[in-house]
Structure formats: C-alpha cells, structure tokens
Amino acid sequence: QRNDWEAALRVIEKIENAGYEAVIVGGAVRDYLLQRKINDVDVATSALPNEVKKIFSHTIDVGIEHGTVVVLDEGSPIEVTTYRTEGTYTDYRRPDEVTFVRDLPKDLERRDFTINAMAFTKDGNIVDLYGGKEDLKNGIIRAVGDPNARFREDALRMLRAVRFAAQLGFTIEEKTMKAIQEDSDLIEFIARERIRMELSKIWVADYVFLGIEALVESNLASYLPGNFAKHLESWRHFRTKKPEVGWAYLCLLNRSDMEDLFEFYRYSNKEKSFAKKVIHAYDRLLERWDEYDYFSNDLNTLETAYDFAHWLGKKVPFSKEHIGKVKEHLPIQSMDDFALNGNLLIQWSGKRGGPWVKEALNKALHAVLTGQVKNDEEQLKEWFYNEFVNER
Ligand code: ATP
Ligand code: MG
C-alpha cells in the first residue's frame, strides 16, 4: 500500500510537470489520515483522459468515457480520473453521463461523504472543503451537501453510509441519518449486485454489529430481505474475515426463506452450498458431532458451524482448537484413503451388486472411523465375513 501511495505521488509529479493539476483523492486520503490500510489509491486531475495518456507510456482505458485511465508506468497501477461533475440522474442511480471540469472543488463536491471528499496534494497539503478532517476526528459519516438531494441522485450512497459506519466504527450524522430514513425506499432502484457488494463489505467489517444496527435504524433493513430488525441481537457477536460466512449466517437466521435470499442477493452456487453445508453441520453440532461429521466436513465448515453456535450463545462443551485435533486423529482423512470399495465387497461376497453394497460400505466406514476395525484390506475382509457372511 505504501508502494501504491508512492507510485501515485510519482504519477502526480509527472502530470504536474506536464502543466496540469493532480491530487490523491477519496478513500485513500481518508485511510491515510486514519492510518488505516489503504485499499486503492485514486488520482484525480485537471488533465483530460487523452492528455493523461500522452504523459505516460503505458496506460489502459478502463472507463475513458467516465474520465478514468489506468497508468502502469510507476509499478503499481494507478487510476487517474479527470475532475468531473455528474450530469443528470435518472432512476436514483448514478448517471452515465459526466462532465469534465478543470477545477478540483467541483470534483470534490460530487463525492458522497465529507470523509471521502478530501484531496492530498503533492506538497502534502490536505484540501478539505467540507470539514472531512473534523468528521474523521469525531467519527462521523456526513453527506456532502443536502443529504436528501444526494441520496435521490444516487440511492446506493445510503448503503455506503452504513458500510462506512461498519468499517470505521463511525456514527451516521443526524441529518444524514434522517434523510436515509426518509428515502430508504429508494434502495429498491439499486442493482442487487451493488447491494450485495456493500453487504459483503459489512459482513467482514471491524464493526459489523454497528453496521447492522445502522441498517435497522436507517430503515434500509425494511427493504432488504433478512429480517435484520428481528434478528438484531443474533448479529451482536458475529465477526468474520470471509464474506461467505456472512451470507451463510444470514441464511441460518432466515432458514425458511433461504431460497428468497439466494435469489435476491444473487448467491453463487459456491455460497449456496457452503451455507447449506454449514447449517447442516450446525444442526448436527447441537445434537453432538460424531466421527462421521468430523470426517465428512472440511475444517472450515466445522469451525464456521462452531462459530455460529458461539455467536448464538449455544453451549458447546469443547474448544474450537479441539475440532482440528479430532479431525487430524481420524483413521482416514478422505474416501481416497479408505481401503475398501464396492468391487472388493462384490468379489468377497460372490453376490451381485445392489443397494446392499452401499449399506455395507457405510457400515465399514463407520467401523473404521470409530476404530472398531483397522483401515486395512485384510482386516476389513475378516470384519466383512463376520458381519455379513457368517450370519447367513
Ligand atoms: P474503499 O475503496 O475502501 O471501499 P472508497 O472510499 O475508496 O472506499 P470507492 O467506491 O473506491 O470508495 O470510491 C472512491 C471515491 O469515489 C470515494 O471515496 C468517494 O469520494 C467517491 N465515490 C464513490 N462512490 C460514490 C458515490 N456513489 N457517490 C459519490 N461519490 C462516490
Ligand atoms: Mg477505493
């Protein structure tokens, strides 16, 4: 990240040497001032996209109609965007038409929150026209300008406010919050993928519960499936680094509406199967896991199910470390290690294949996992004769 910042400063220097203005803007300035990990460093400039392209030897047009060119010359790729204002807004979504301008204040004015509307110049000065520094100090998310107007321009900003509250542990300023409450229904105009991206960031945020609280208080929760208000308390101890864990937990809290959640939030097949697997493991955990649960689930699934129980205040009589230990000590780790297969059974029995094969295999697997038989072909053969052949 340090490298990105340095690369951005070199990009700025070259643009300025060519006679234009350039600054670092947005999230990078915010995170720099907070001494937080910087995500990506964006540069804004008075130069037009074609002018930017002339200054550097390696650029990519990523969104040239929006004014963005990626500069590759300095090692880290740096997005350079021409100062712009946003034109007309239709449908409460961001406009696809933008107007390039030559001065920074106009560009800062279009930005969503005061803490995101600061610029960092090459001499290390902060351009702060909206009290962003003060709001950073006080931990406040405040819309730039009239909040209602800003949310009507782009309703996604309402959810971004909640997301930043969750990431930074900040409070949404009163008028900004009131405006979200008034305009919360406009979130329905926003593409599900965008909603999904913001929620994914909330799941992994440091102050996720603050985020869920803000989601409820802002009334956005009324338009987002998941019954956040009803299940608020169940989110209090939730904490993760993986978005899919959040998506699975949301399913656990809304088990009877899982299909609706899948649909609305556009779960991937991987997220769906993870959610189902973990919920199954969670149910089994409340009954008590046996060897087969340890064998048939991967460690991540088991540990996530364990976390679910923990977050929901269920008593589990062992530690999380215990899970990995039990799993390691299983006689076999996967079906590939199993010394038995259907063909051997058919050979040994002299009978034709049928449903009995699967049944016998399961029984043998259970016997191996519980240590009743060694995972060894000879011993399994003997076990098999005793169990299935001698009896008859
Ligand atoms: P992060 O990258 O850490 O998620 P960020 O603040 O950099 O956070 P981005 O989505 O990368 O957020 O946007 C970069 C900057 O562009 C923001 O800081 C903000 O100034 C501006 N911005 C982004 N989305 C909007 C929006 N919907 N309305 C107004 N300004 C926006
Ligand atoms: Mg960013």
Question: Which ligand has its closest atom nearest to the C-alpha of 37?
Answer: 1
What whole-number distance in Å separates Cα of residue 70 and Cα of residue 60?
5
Ligand 1 pocket test: pick from 112, 113, 163 the residue with the most ligand atoms within 8 Å of its Cβ: 112
Q: How far is CA 205 from CA 163, 191, 201, in A?
A: 8, 22, 6
Distances (CA, A) of 41 to 2, 3, 108, 255: 10, 10, 16, 40
Query: Which among 161, 123, 155 has a CA at the least distance from the CA of 21?
Result: 123
Q: Which domains does the chain have, with CATH numbers?
A: 1-134 (3.30.460.10), 139-224 (1.10.110.30), 233-324 (1.20.58), 335-389 (1.10.246.80)
**Residue given tokens 């209090």 in the structure block:** 236
Q: Is 39 in the pocket of ligand 1 (CB under 6 A)?
A: yes
Q: Point out the ligand 1 atom lying closest to the alpha carbon of residue 160.
A: 27
**Closest residue (by CA) to atom 17 of ligand 1?**
26
Ligand 1 pocket check for 343: Cβ under 6 Å: no
At 388 the pLDDT is: 76
Distances (CA, A) of 6 to 42, 68, 74: 12, 19, 9
Q: How confident is the model at residue 183 (pLDDT cuts 50, 70, 90)?
A: very high
Q: Which residues are annotated as a binding site?
A: 27, 30, 40, 42, 111, 154, 157, 160, 163
Contact 132, 194 (CB under 8 A): no
Ligand 1 pocket, residue 112 CB under 6 Å: yes
* Global model pTM greater than 0.90: yes
The complex scores an ipTM of 0.98
* Alpha-carbon span 55 to 131, nearest angstrom: 33
Confidence of residue 87 (pLDDT cuts 50, 70, 90): confident
Return the structure tokens found at 89: 């807004």
Task: Quick: pLDDT tens for 297-341.
Answer: 999 999 999 999 999 999 999 999 999 999 999 999 999 999 999
Tell me which of 111, 115, 162, 190 to substitute to probe ligand 1's pocket, judged by most ligand atoms within 8 Å of the beta carbon: 111
